[in-house]
A and B are shown apart, each in its own frame.
Chain A
């Protein structure tokens, strides 16, 4: 295998693994802002214990997120030196801004939040979890600025063999930044809601700390329902429209539109095969895609065959990942809506089958995040910066394939170990349950 392919695999591994953790961190942090607020304002021990319990899960998740995030800051330099030189004038700034404006905030205040209980006032303690949530969200903003600039570059001129900054505002708020920011952060909120809901469901099934578990479940389901609905509309819809307008190749690939046509159909189910690109077992609704993307049932949309073969993204992976993400998104609405509906009259607490469904659903929002990210990043190929720089021209020229093999295998082993230990310790912590009232006095 050549260095480019190896580096791509390595990047997919390191980012994919890292991206399992920040969504939980962001979602859980915002839920803890609500939980700790209730604990602080009411002085009710149940909310305080709930805060302490979920704070432990946050700490574990944050630790693995930080550990795997260190690699992110440096791997553009190690593996993608040509890319780094080409985009550094623009791409480095959001990474540095993320450090200055977000990482310090979340890391500093996480320490205060986890260890400062009793050392600082209750108000200051609540403020510290608020800053963790705000910091992790700002962090998501800057990293999406950087990645969105790769998707829809703006505010630059190409001079001296590199992309040079022409307008910082235009580069930061490039066409895809805000649609992707809201879509991604809301996905993180869903991930947090499903963690809290699943853990509460586990406690309820074991009849442990029923009062705490009911309150947590109620909070998580309402929070999750709002976030899940917003994820599809407006955020998902707005993002898809933006892709249709700014990255037509990617749009054609994820939607499975292989021939350009007016009144383009929305494909609900199909199995893509190549070559030539074709969808098998297709179920589609005519005109809906044109209507959703351009507000007109008869609007023409370009298909994948309208683009030169060397400019097309991979078709199978983009189509499959995107459609499965959508299915999961609809499932999140259904699952939380059912739960909120059953909350009335307390019919939910004894619904053991539904509670079990919530437990097994804990990892599903993370799966949706991974699928969405795959659709976004694979859909950008063959470009590392859309229409500016090809991925094949971006790797480090001075790094031999053997070195990348070594770091790839070593990284794979370390990540496998970290992933297994994380799941093992998380399950252990959940089984251990919320702290008792007596510990709280200590």
Chain B
């Protein structure tokens, strides 16, 4: 395996890590809009309170890694999605401050304002990440200056479909996480949401696969030949079978693992379809940015690999330890938001 492929994998791992970890934060943020009970909203916020910030770092590190390993991709995609990205960042800013701000003033109206900020700040990214992925999979119109997109152009039917798929995936993942962290009637309702989200997820994934076949046939070029395809397809299938059953049986540990596995599989399958391209070009596929024509030098990739190999095991180690410290049901304390 060459360095370029390793970095394709590493960026993929960071994106998948982000989707699994901040994915349930985003889902929790969306789901917190479905209850209007103050205590329930606080429980939901505090279920992710101690960990969401660390989870979001996967996104920042993914951005940094993309910049370091594939600078033209970083430059082309973010400048090309300029307005969509501006909206995404504003949403993430609102979400980030809503935890602290909401809890600081004990007034009904104040809290409603930050509830909306938290909910919308989670909903918009949960939708836009999928829209962005959909546009990349579909291919972007490229010229010498880079890619040019308009906001209405980005909201094409295919990209919106992938956006909704992503949203449902995050809601599902948030619901299984909240099943783990809550009790009583709230947990029962989260169980209902998880069941419904599983059905919607499976249906949307099937539709998306067919749509991808029609819109971007090159995604399926090497599909059958790659053994990893079958590994992740099997994992996705297993998740889709055991996940709903685990939700039904209120075994939320299993259900959470299943929604995490589904999230990882969906991203891995999309990445496999894309490989070795990073940004397919329309209409001339040969003009695509790939892991070879858009990579940093071997020296940089090598140096960064050393940093990743030293740093990431440590990150995983203390992330596990921190999650262990907060295991169990969410309890409201004076320290809570």
- Which residues does A use to contact B, with CB under 8 Å? 59-60, 63-64, 66-71, 73-74, 76-82, 84-85, 87-93, 95-101, 103-105, 107-112, 114-120, 162, 164-166, 168, 396-399, 403-404, 406-407, 410-411, 414, 418, 421, 425, 428-429, 435, 439, 442
Contact = CB atoms under 8 A, between A and B. Distances in A.
Size category of the binding interface on chain B: 35 or more
A67 B80 contact: no
B313 to A, nearest CB: 11
Majority-rule SS of B interface residues: helix
Interface stretch (B53-61, B127-135, B161-169, B227-235): B53-61
Nearest to B66: A92
7 contacts: A92-B296, A96-B67, A99-B65, A100-B312, A107-B56, A110-B53, A414-B90
Contacts of A78: 78-79, 82, 85-86
B204 interface: no
B50 interface: yes
Contacts of A165: 296-297, 299-300, 303
A168 B325 CA distance: 38
A405 to B, nearest CB: 11
Given A93-B68, A165-B297, A396-B146, A119 B325 contact: yes
The winner among B60, B94, B105 for most chain A CB atoms within 10 A is B60
A403 B68 contact: no
B34 to A, nearest CB: 25
Given A411-B86, A429-B104, 18 more contacts: A59-B100, A63-B100, A70-B96, A74-B89, A77-B79, A80-B75, A84-B74, A88-B74, A92-B74, A95-B63, A96-B67, A97-B64, A100-B64, A112-B50, A114-B50, A407-B82, A414-B94, A421-B101
A103 B97 contact: no
B326 A115 contact: yes
B208 interface: no
Contacts of B308: 100
A110 B56 CA distance: 13
Contacts of A435: 334
A111 B100 CA distance: 12
Contacts of A418: 93, 97
A407 B86 contact: yes
B297 A164 contact: yes
Contact of A425 (B74, B101, B335): B101
Contacts of B335: 114-115, 117
A428 B104 contact: yes
A425 B69 CA distance: 40
